[in-house]
Amino acid sequence: MVFNRSDTEQMASAGSQQRGPLLYKPLFESKAVSTREKEKTMSTRKITIFDTTLRDGEQSPGCSMKLHDKLLVAGNLEALKVDVIEAGFAIASPGDFESVQAIARQVKTSSVASLARALKGDIDQAWAAVRDAVNPRIHTFLATSPVHMQFKLRMSPEQVLEQATSMVRYARSLCPNIQFSLEDYTRTEEEFSWRVIEAVIAAGATTVNLPDTVGYAIPEEFGARIARVMEHVPNVDKATIAVHCHNDLGLAVANTLAALRAGAGQAECTINGIGERAGNAALEEIVMALRTRKDFFAGMQCDVDTTRIISTSRCVCSVTGSRVQNNKAIVGQNAFAHESGIHQHGMLANRETYEIMTPESVGLSQSQMVLGKHSGKHALKDRLEQLGIMLSEAHLQELFGRFKDLADAKKVVTDADIEALARGLEMRNDAQQKLVFERFLTTTGNTTADVSTVRLCVDGNSIEDVAMGNGPIEASFNAINKMLNLHVTVENFSVSAVTANVDAQGECDLRIRHNNKVYLGRGVAQDIIEAAIRAYVHALNGLLEDEQRMTVNASVMAAGGLV
Ligand code: KIV
Ligand code: ZN
């Protein structure tokens, strides 16, 4: 019997029903088990979890993060015990360099990697950014598929082979931990890929990554290709083979799992599956598949602390402003909800009827300890930590004040309220902002024109303006545009209630577009108009900060500094 005992035990202790003997046989056991499978079950194989939420994940539209956010995510990833955190692409911009370096300096237990094209300048920059990490890694890449070599790189296969090898050798002269990726591996001619893999391992690559860059692979086919790499590359045992799958056909996790079964030792993934286009393989799905189907993934083991999955997922949602769909596996709001009467009946009789993993195993707290106006700072700090929110003492103190105000207005403060307060706090770090919202007054109704007066503090001076609009929110935005003489486009505007009651806090998410760049805004307040104004001001602060940084960078570069 190879059912995951830890889940069984947790379910038994968490449920009200005593668990009887298992009533089914796992699929894997019901089939004939080959000798190879039997051998695999006997030995354990460590799977390295390489998280690229902060690099590939950040490449998803609208998911860009600020330094503070990135450090917060990195802290969560470290607590989740991922093996490698890809912190960014150091050469991409001075901001990227700064955040990779800050993460490399902050993280103590996971390895920290920076991406670099197979170019000397990129590798130097990546090394400068990660060299202070406890365990630094340079991740360099070059495309190997005919279409990329011919049209993007304009290089022959022999030139690509030479460039890849020499750049790996160069990177290895700087850092002992080198990863090389064959970009668009799935569409690479197979025998050529074996030559490249062999050559970069000989040149010093410690990990060779085989990405399904365009999400084209099919699990059986991808697994078979990886198996042939293990068979045909003579020095393959000198490096770890990794896979990095995109989700264009919705197969990223399936392809990753097929590759692990075929011998790959590293899975590249992101929290909530965020990433370029349709995203990357979702970390939480890979890890929970390995854990829940230990019987099938014989002997494979990773070190991720699965009880930190929910808090990390929430942290990523909150800093990127992209929520996961309700029915998303593992981390969606409905992933552990049993709605139908038949299911609920089954669950009450024995949780195993409809539950293959426990909510506790992914960190969904079953504790219903209610926070209210009598709760102390300790209880709040505890709950924040469970939600993956780590705050400085000063921020905690500030949040505690807001929590008390809210608890006075509402009887029960829910987890969603606390998360919203914490998100609001990040936005209200007034001392560092150019624009600070002060107050608004609006006249609205179905028989009168909507007019709003908004007062902002701009660089320390209070400025007020008034405007009309289609509704009080548009009127308020128009007042701000008028006082700042701004023209931006607002997109993806949404206002929602944090909880389901009429006294709920309002939360507004929006994006503004300016010169083809997108800035995220979020605001939280008891009043939805105020929440919308705060979201707008938050996004505008992002824009102004970016413009200021670009001006500074231009003058630093002109003076021959930084990059
Ligand atoms: O998808 C891809 O090929 C990548 C590489 C840079 C690893 O992200
Ligand atoms: Zn990618």
Residues 129, 70, single domain; the answer is: yes
Residues 246, 213, single domain; the answer is: yes
Residues 441, 529, single domain; the answer is: yes
User: What are the tens digits of pLDDT across the range 397-423?
Assistant: 989 988 888 888 777 787 778 877 886
pLDDT score of 526 more than 90 = no
For ligand 1, atom 8, the nearest C-alpha belongs to: 56
276 alpha carbon – ligand 2 mean position (Å): 7
Greater model confidence, 196 or 1: 196
Residues 95, 168, single domain; the answer is: yes
Residues 314, 350, single domain; the answer is: no
Residues 444, 545, single domain; the answer is: yes
CA distance linking residue 446 with residue 20, whole number of Å: 62
> What is the number of structural domains in the chain?
3
CA distance linking residue 280 with residue 213, whole number of Å: 9
pLDDT score of 39 more than 80 = no
Position 13 in a domain? no
User: Which of 370, 398, 424 is where one domain is finished?
Assistant: 424
Provide the pLDDT confidence category of residue 365 given band limits of 50, 70 and 90. low
Find out whether 304 and 321 touch, Cβ atoms under 8 Å: no
Position 326 in a domain? no
Residue of 52, 54, 56, 91 to test ligand 1 pocket, by largest number of atoms within 8 Å of CB: 56
Provide the pLDDT confidence category of residue 321 given band limits of 50, 70 and 90. confident
Q: Strand pairing of 45-46 and 300-301?
A: parallel
Position 84 in a domain? yes
The gap from C-alpha 242 to its chain's centroid, in whole angstroms, comes to 19
User: What are the tens digits of pLDDT across the range 187-240?
Assistant: 999 999 999 999 999 999 999 999 999 999 999 999 999 999 999 999 999 999
Of the ligands numbered here, which is closest to the C-alpha atom of 276? 2
Q: Which residues line ligand 1 (CB under 6 A)?
A: 56, 141, 181, 183, 209, 211, 213, 244, 246
User: What are the tens digits of pLDDT across the range 110-163?
Assistant: 999 999 999 999 999 999 999 999 999 999 999 999 999 999 999 999 999 999
Residue 506 has a pLDDT of 85
Provide the pLDDT confidence category of residue 469 given band limits of 50, 70 and 90. very high
- Amino acid identity for residue 365 in this structure: S
Lowest mean pLDDT among 5-14, 127-136, 314-323: 5-14
Position 292 in a domain? yes
Lowest mean pLDDT among 233-237, 492-496, 500-504, 505-509: 500-504
Would you state the torsion angle of the CA atoms of residues 18, 24, 26, 27, taken in this order, to the nearest 10 degrees? -150
Position 470 in a domain? yes
pLDDT score of 454 more than 60 = yes
Residue 140 has a pLDDT of 98
Greater model confidence, 371 or 439: 439
pLDDT score of 243 more than 90 = yes
pLDDT score of 34 more than 60 = no
Residue of 55, 86, 115, 152 to test ligand 1 pocket, by largest number of atoms within 8 Å of CB: 115
User: Which of 289, 320, 351 is where one domain is finished?
Assistant: 320
Domain that holds residue 379: 342-424
Residue 427 has a pLDDT of 55
Assign residue 398 the CATH number of its domain: 1.10.238
Residues 522, 461, single domain; the answer is: yes
Residues 241, 365, single domain; the answer is: no
pLDDT score of 347 more than 60 = yes
Ligand 1 atom with minimal separation from the 59 CA: 8
Residues 419, 537, single domain; the answer is: no
Position 26 in a domain? no
Residue 522 has a pLDDT of 82
pLDDT score of 471 more than 90 = yes
Lowest mean pLDDT among 46-50, 272-276, 408-412: 408-412
300 alpha carbon – ligand 1 mean position (Å): 24
Assign residue 123 the CATH number of its domain: 3.20.20.70
Contacts of 188 (CB under 8 A, 6+ apart): 144, 145, 146, 182, 196
Residues 388, 532, single domain; the answer is: no
Give the H or E element holding residue 451: strand 450-458
User: What are the tens digits of pLDDT across the range 96-108?
Assistant: 999 999 999 999 9
Of the ligands numbered here, which is closest to the C-alpha atom of 144? 1
Provide the pLDDT confidence category of residue 375 given band limits of 50, 70 and 90. confident
Ligand 1 atom with minimal separation from the 214 CA: 1
Ion ligand 2: protein residues whose beta carbon lies under 5 Å: 56
Ligand 1 atom with minimal separation from the 115 CA: 6
User: Which of 424, 441, 470 is where one domain is finished?
Assistant: 424
Task: Find the mean pLDDT for residues 543-553.
Answer: 73
Residues 188, 51, single domain; the answer is: yes
Of the ligands numbered here, which is closest to the C-alpha atom of 212? 1
Token code pair at residue 62:
């609208």
pLDDT score of 370 more than 80 = no
Of the ligands numbered here, which is closest to the C-alpha atom of 211? 1
Position 1 in a domain? no
187 alpha carbon – ligand 1 mean position (Å): 13
The mean pLDDT of the chain is: 86
**For residues 496-510, b (16+ Cβ closer than 10 Å) or e, as one string?**
eebbeeeebbbbbbb
Lowest mean pLDDT among 65-69, 70-74, 235-239: 65-69
Assign residue 529 the CATH number of its domain: 3.30.160.270
Return contacts of 485-491, CB within 8 angstroms, 24+ apart. 486/540, 488/512, 488/513, 488/514, 488/540, 488/543, 489/513, 489/514, 490/536, 491/518
Position 25 in a domain? no
For ligand 1, atom 1, the nearest C-alpha belongs to: 213
CA atoms within a 13 Å half-sphere pointing along the CA-CB vector of 118: 24
Residues 169, 213, single domain; the answer is: yes
Greater model confidence, 146 or 448: 146
Q: What are the distances in angstroms from CA 85 to CA 5, 73, 105?
A: 30, 10, 12
Residue 5 has a pLDDT of 35
